Chains A and B, each alone.
Chain A
Amino acid sequence: MRRLLVALLALVFASAAPRAQDAAEQARALRKSGQLEEALAVLEAARAASPRDELLAGLQGLCLLDAGRAEQAAQLAATFPGYAGKEPKLHTFLGRASALDGRWDEALQHFEAALAVDGRQLEPAVESVRTLMAAGRFAAAVTAAARVEALSPELGRRLAADALVAQADRLQAAGREALGPAIEKLTAALELRPDDVALGERLLDMQVPLLRVDDARKLAARLFPGEEGRGARLYWEGRCRDALTDRTGAREAYEQALAAQPSHAEARIELARLDIDDGAFEKALERLASLPGSGKHAARALLLTGLAELGLHRDGPAEEHLRAALLLEPENPKAQYQLGRLLLRTGRTEEGRSLLEGVEQLEPN
């Protein structure tokens, strides 16, 4: 039925040979409402009458890219080699097509050309940010996002935050010494997305190991206000105390976090870790048993269960849990190391050695 409608529309437009401007407006509206096939039908008909119309070509290309028809889009783009005209839509399309091929600079030139003609164009401004991020030029992306923010404040802030987070990711991957700049990026991102709790927790996770406990405490208080946030606040207080080697204080805070929020998995896990450090393996197992076997904390819970079982000299369950932890996180060095040693000790030398050698390949702490 839908195909029939599209065919009819094409027929009507072909016979009526509408003015290019009208067709463009109609296609724009259809694209905006997500009716890409309908928009393409309108544009195809209009372009039959005006094959060199740059606006129609640009819109057609953008609709093709939106519809995932990359090959057809590339064919269309190829008909405008070295385009240096003044049509923003065509520049935007050609930019996106270039970016799809990884030709970042060419793409950026097209977006800039589009914006040079009409600085109020949102799409090339947004695409410019995305292209810069895809190219790994995060600082430039943050700057470019400010241009979007002037046109669409919410979108601009979101893009800037995305760029800052991507920058932080890259810095974090560069190692411990780059964690400070990574923290700065995340802090800036959080200013743009102040209600993003996940982002805030990521920032806390970086601040605490670097002993920025004052900052962490303030942030935790802001992210988790009131009675509702008490459990999370106390958990982060425990993490801060842990980092400062106040193990008694940390334990107390984790216990209070659990009292305030019995479902707080991280607090339970940290308590189990402290139990294992202290040799209280049964207690650790008791705590870990109440955690769900799946979800974002499952790998850590399985690892700690394995370690507690190891502490109790129960090799079978220890192996089972360490293997399960490794299935979820194959590059976890602790699980690899402990399982490797267990296997070595229990006579499975080849697999044990292989795991341990794998650990040695991992980057040092």
Chain B
Amino acid sequence: MLRRTLLSWAALGPALVLLPACSREGSAAPPATAAEPAPAAPAPVATAAPPSAAGPSFVAAGPECGLAERNVSGPIAAQGKRYLLDCVGPGLAVLDYDSDGRLDLFVAQGRDDARTLEDGGPQAGGDCADKLYRNLGGRRFAECAAEAGLDDRGYGFGALAFDEDDDGDSDVFLANYGRNRLYRNDAGRFSDETDDHAGLAGGAGDWSTGAAAGDVDEDGDLDLYVCNYVRHDSAELDEKGLCRFMSECHVPCGPLGLDPQPDRFYVNEGAPGFRLREATEEHGLLQAASYGFQPVFLDVEPDGDLDLYVTNDSKPNWLFVNDGTGHFQERGLLAGVACSNAGQAEAGMGAAAGDLDGDGKPEIYVTNFSMQVNSLYVNQTGADGVPWFEEQAQRAGVGSPTWLELSWGCALADFDDDGWTDIFSSNSHIYPQVDDCPPPEISYREACNLFRRLPGERLAFEDLGARAGDVAAAARPHRASVVADLDDDGALDLLVARLDEPPLLLWNDLRGRGHWLSLRIERAGAPSRLAVGARVRATAGGRQFSGEVRAGSSFLSTEDPRVHLGLGTATRVDSLAVEWPGGAWREWTDLAADRHLVLRPDLDEPLLASPSEVAR
């Protein structure tokens, strides 16, 4: 087993903190003492007051923001939804498709009649094209999917933005019901390159869901994992009719009782063609077919290589542990992240990873079905590197409040920049029919949850409820969600998909937030390329922070590719270390807070990345 020496809090000890304004770099492990002259840190762009005890507050964007297109997922709820296919909703992706420095938004689109799929090519299907919203600045967006060539008309679910061909711009993989699509981006113009990758499209009747990318074999390019859900056959389901839920509701059938579909892993063969080749079994990722929803790459031990967590609906979730060579072993049950504390599989929907307790190891948060609490798996992996988690949702105060809700998207992020990571989940029942059946406590439209982390060593959260502003103001049919600082003001905003409705954009307008640092981690050299899988460690104000660059998380979605660190009252970061996939690392000290920075292993100084000030 290949294991590298890790960056750890111990490695960022007091001696380094005593060396202000210096940077260090390396290729395998951080040296004990070597130091370089400090980069001249750019001036802060904002000054933040101490964090408010009230927690985040969000304001829903109005129609002027331009996200006007409603989701199409079969007949609208009021007309009755007969298939699960029409109940899951679209994935979202945050990407800078035109490389203008502003984050744009992609929203997958469903179809109005799944049965037409077999006949329709990518351009068929009426008005059901996926949506791409260009960020115009000033909190406004303009739909431009057709103009950019990303108006795919498949029945869209997962939306993964990642640089598949390593040319510096965000390509988009669409996990559809029917043929999946890979759209390569060339200077802001997308072209469908799916057929260049044998097997990537999947079968005509496959229903793919979440997707995630990571360089599992550390060969410098991004590999792809795609979840598949059930075999959907409208005619068969029509014959079967509706199924019972909570005994009295007649609702779409599944997933139990329907045929699960196996997930697929594609290894990227790199330059020159960057072909994605199906290699599920070859990499130890072949499992009995399950009802897969969302994969998330993360480094659980952490030992420097990317592991993979996968949520499964109504079946145990998986944790694939990387042996350091890109080969995996499934250890979900042994690690304690497969099921509930009661040893029962739950209906895993979305997943988010993040370091909640500042020990440098990512926790995993999983959204589950109604009448199952969302799971909070706390990472307690020890020095032996054997992954070990304890489920602590109830103890941390995020169990009971999620019991009745059915949650989809989720995020572990510091929304008030107080230095403590909060939890968001988007909620709504899957079946519109529940409104017509008892019990009254379960309803189709639900408000979202925002749990504020209570400062202190004990892992504890409070449900902000109405104090979260418009996050919890309206009960709507929420689905996937993404977190991103869309207006680059240093506050993490939220975009939430809604079934049959336009997406909900929630601006984070909390006053009195803490200080922050936003980091775009890039690989060395030109063009500018995101370093998916890079890990960040920072110390500020006597506390430790960490983050990873991910492509694919929450539910069917891709979030802000930047690492956002809430710093609380600290106005400077004492030390900041980045470990890139492949082992390169670099460390900076004494960085001013409240700015967007670009970090690269070949740059002595961080670049200021705020689009309003720097044209990259």
Interface centre among A245, A279, A336, A338 (most CB of B within 10 A): A245
Distance, CA A32 to CA B366, complexed state (A) = 66
* Cβ-based interface call for A1 (8 A): no
Known: A183-B247, A210-B246, A362-B343. A245 touches B333 (CB 8 A): no
Nearest residue in A to B397 (C-beta to C-beta)? A278
* Cβ-based interface call for A289 (8 A): no
Contacts of A122 in B (CB 8 A): none
Contact pattern, B 423-446, Cβ under 8 Å of A = 1, otherwise 0? 000000000000000110110000
* Cβ-based interface call for A212 (8 A): yes
Contact A180 B343 (CB under 8 A): no
A280 to chain B, nearest CB (A): 10
Contact pattern, B 252-278, Cβ under 8 Å of A = 1, otherwise 0? 000010000000000000000000000
Of residues 290 to 336 in A, which have CB atoms within 8 Å of B's CB atoms?
333-334, 336
Contacts of A179 in B (CB 8 A): 247
Distance, CA A337 to CA B333, complexed state (A) = 9
Contact A336 B343 (CB under 8 A): yes
* Cβ-based interface call for A147 (8 A): no
A188 to chain B, nearest CB (A): 15
Of residues 211 to 236 in A, which have CB atoms within 8 Å of B's CB atoms?
211-213
Contacts of A357 in B (CB 8 A): 333
Contact A177 B245 (CB under 8 A): yes
B355 to chain A, nearest CB (A): 21
Distance, CA A360 to CA B330, complexed state (A) = 13
Contact pattern, B 303-340, Cβ under 8 Å of A = 1, otherwise 0? 00000000000111000000000000000011010111
Contact pattern, B 35-78, Cβ under 8 Å of A = 1, otherwise 0? 00000000000000000000000000000000000000000000
Contact pattern, A 324-365, Cβ under 8 Å of B = 1, otherwise 0? 000000000110111001001100000001001101101011
Contact B439 A245 (CB under 8 A): no
Contact B400 A333 (CB under 8 A): no
Nearest residue in B to A244 (C-beta to C-beta)? B441
Distance, CA A360 to CA B345, complexed state (A) = 8
Known: A247-B400, A333-B343, A337-B342. A178 touches B244 (CB 8 A): yes
Distance, CA A115 to CA B412, complexed state (A) = 72
Known: A337-B339, A353-B334. A245 touches B344 (CB 8 A): no
Distance, CA A213 to CA B371, complexed state (A) = 15
* Cβ-based interface call for A277 (8 A): yes
Contact A341 B403 (CB under 8 A): no
Contact pattern, B 387-421, Cβ under 8 Å of A = 1, otherwise 0? 01000001100011101100000000000000000
Nearest residue in B to A333 (C-beta to C-beta)? B343
* Cβ-based interface call for A85 (8 A): no
Known: A277-B394, A353-B334, A364-B314. A337 touches B343 (CB 8 A): yes
Q: How large is the interface on B (under 10, 10 to 19, 20 to 34, 35 or more residues)?
A: 35 or more
* Cβ-based interface call for B144 (8 A): no
A99 to chain B, nearest CB (A): 33
Contact B395 A364 (CB under 8 A): no
Could you tell me how many residues of chain A have their Cβ less than 8 Å away from some Cβ of chain B?
33
Contact A210 B439 (CB under 8 A): yes
Distance, CA A211 to CA B340, complexed state (A) = 21
Contact B441 A333 (CB under 8 A): no
Nearest residue in A to B382 (C-beta to C-beta)? A345
Distance, CA A361 to CA B459, complexed state (A) = 32
Contact A211 B388 (CB under 8 A): no
- Checking B247, B340, B404, B438 against A245 with a beta-carbon cut-off of 8 angstroms, the contacting residue is B404
Nearest residue in B to A349 (C-beta to C-beta)? B334
B294 to chain A, nearest CB (A): 18
Known: A244-B441, A277-B394. A180 touches B248 (CB 8 A): yes
Known: A177-B243, A359-B333, A364-B314. A334 touches B439 (CB 8 A): no
B393 to chain A, nearest CB (A): 10
* Cβ-based interface call for A119 (8 A): no
Nearest residue in B to A179 (C-beta to C-beta)? B247
A361 to chain B, nearest CB (A): 11
Contacts of B372 in A (CB 8 A): 365
B284 to chain A, nearest CB (A): 18
* Cβ-based interface call for B341 (8 A): yes
* Cβ-based interface call for A181 (8 A): yes
Contact A360 B340 (CB under 8 A): no
Contact B244 A334 (CB under 8 A): no
Contact A211 B439 (CB under 8 A): yes
Contact B395 A278 (CB under 8 A): yes
* Cβ-based interface call for B346 (8 A): yes
- Checking B245, B336, B395 against A277 with a beta-carbon cut-off of 8 angstroms, the contacting residue is B395
Known: A178-B247, A211-B439, A279-B395. A344 touches B343 (CB 8 A): no
Contacts of A277 in B (CB 8 A): 394-395, 399
Distance, CA A327 to CA B123, complexed state (A) = 62
Contact B442 A211 (CB under 8 A): yes
A90 to chain B, nearest CB (A): 46
22 A-B pairs (CB sep. < 8 Å) = A177-B243, A180-B247, A211-B438, A211-B441, A244-B404, A277-B394, A277-B395, A278-B394, A333-B343, A333-B344, A334-B342, A334-B343, A337-B341, A338-B341, A356-B334, A357-B333, A359-B333, A360-B333, A362-B343, A364-B345, A364-B346, A365-B346
In the complex, besides A211-B442, A333-B344, A337-B341, 15 extra interface pairs with C-beta distance below 8 angstroms are A177-B244, A177-B245, A180-B246, A211-B441, A245-B400, A245-B403, A277-B395, A277-B399, A334-B342, A356-B334, A362-B344, A364-B314, A364-B345, A364-B346, A365-B344
A residues contacting B by CB (< 8 A) are 177-181, 183, 209-213, 244-245, 247, 277-279, 333-334, 336-338, 341, 344-345, 353, 356-357, 359-360, 362, 364-365
**What 8 A-B pairs have minimum CB-CB distances, sorted nearest first?**
A180-B247, A337-B343, A211-B439, A333-B343, A365-B344, A364-B345, A245-B400, A334-B342
